[in-house]
Structure 1
Amino acid sequence: MSGTAVWACPYTDFPLVEIRPARTHRPVRVWANRVRGAKAVAVHGERVAFYGGYGEEQDRLAHGELTETSVEPTDVGLLTLPDGPAPGRRRVVSRGSRIYVQAEPFTAWGVLDLSI
């Protein structure tokens, strides 16, 4: 949720969907999206980040820009911990412009914030 918007990438085609209250001018907007299997999404303005994926892409961090009809990829990388390795077992939550990742032993959260 971002302010009054909720963002999702529903299975199976994974479009990026923005849902706002029914009283707004455009309560639902949809963008075509090529990123598959993301576990979390963050949006800030026209920028978007997806974390996760299937198989070898479980640590993928994909960035994109919103156009009128689609998410255009701009960069793809792997999320790593401050000391270098991939997170391993993790918890992932997203809200608005932020993706939160908590790696085992689950004692601290790391934050990716698109608004910075």
Structure 2
Amino acid sequence: MSGTTAWACPYTDFPLVEIRPDRTHRPVRVWANRVRGAKAVAVHGERVAFYGGYGEERDRLAHGEIMETSVEPSDVGLLTLPGGSAPGRRRVVGRGSSIYVQAEPFTTWGVFDLSS
């Protein structure tokens, strides 16, 4: 969520959905999306990042561009902790242009910000 706009990638087809109640014409917009199983999404302008996935893609960070009717993937990588290791057990939240990750022992939050 960012201001009055909420973004989601609902199960089972994982489209990118924008919900903007302040818009009287088309308050909900939907784009087809090939990234499956994301646990968090961040959006900045026409850029989008999805974090998470199934199995070995659980630490995937996928970038894309929002086009007219779909999200076009542009880059895929793995999110790592500052020391280079995988986060392991973690909490994750997407809000606006940021994805927040809190790895065990759950004492600090790391931030991936699409706007920087």
Further displaced range: 101-110 or 14-23 = 14-23
Deviations 1:38-79 (A, max 9, x none): 000000100000000000000000000000100000000000
Matched-pair contact (CA < 8 Å) for 2:4–2:22: no
Task: Tell whether 2:53 aligns with 1:53.
Answer: yes
Question: Normalized against structure 1, the TM-score is what?
Answer: 0.97
Runs of 4+ deviating beyond 3 Å:
none
CA distance in 1, matches of 2:62, 2:35: 8
Q: TM-score, normalising length from structure 2? A: 0.97
1:36 equivalent in structure 2: 36
Letter in 2 for 1:62: A
Instruction: Give 5+ residue unaligned stretches, structure 1.
Output: none
Q: Which runs of 5+ in 2 are unaligned?
A: none
Q: How many residues align?
A: 116
User: What corresponds to 1:7 in structure 2?
Assistant: 7
> What's the offset of the Cα at 1:26?
1.9
Q: In percent, how many aligned pairs have the same letter?
A: 88
**Helix, strand or coil for the counterpart of 2:56?**
helix
**Residue type at the aligned position of 2:102:** Q
